[in-house]
Structure 1
């Protein structure tokens, strides 16, 4: 960028200021920096970040696939009102085993039921 110092000499009275600025402008040399080392560090960081992002993408894709399967199962499931005791027992065979154990021990209510829901008997 060139500065027209003659123009400023013609409009300003203080010529010493213009001489000083012109002298400073002529002496000015921009400093150059060797940024190769910093660029190499940044490129290494970028490569590591890309590698981590790809690994994260793989995990997220796998989780998304599992969530889509779960959503499909939920959408295709029968409404709760349509389920029978046999359906629940088929899905969770341990329920029949636990129920049989409770009946053998004379327990007719699950542990903590009365504490949570209160006494519901009319008698």
Structure 2
């Protein structure tokens, strides 16, 4: 079970680390081609989402790795599920109705939640 957690959590952490860094660094014009919803959000909110994704990625990996507050991995996984549910809502209310990636991320994160409970 630990191997499955590390594989899935590692992939999720890489995805969210990249996605969060892009949102935190790039301007609206460079984000628009890959994220059509940025025009409907204020940039401070986009930057905050990027920071949350970066912190969540660290939360999936560092607590179980170090053994310090390992319950944070569970909190990060639950937070990512909630984040993606919100992302689905944003996509469905806008012009771009592409939610396949979001649903896939919810499924992958749900796979991480159960093994993360073993460190509680």
- TM superposition score category, shorter chain reference: under 0.3
The structure that is helix-richer by fraction is 2
- The structure whose RCO (Cα within 8 Å, separation 6+) is larger is 2
- TM-score between both structures, scaled by the size of structure 1: 0.22
Higher Rg: 1
- TM-score between both structures, scaled by the size of structure 2: 0.22
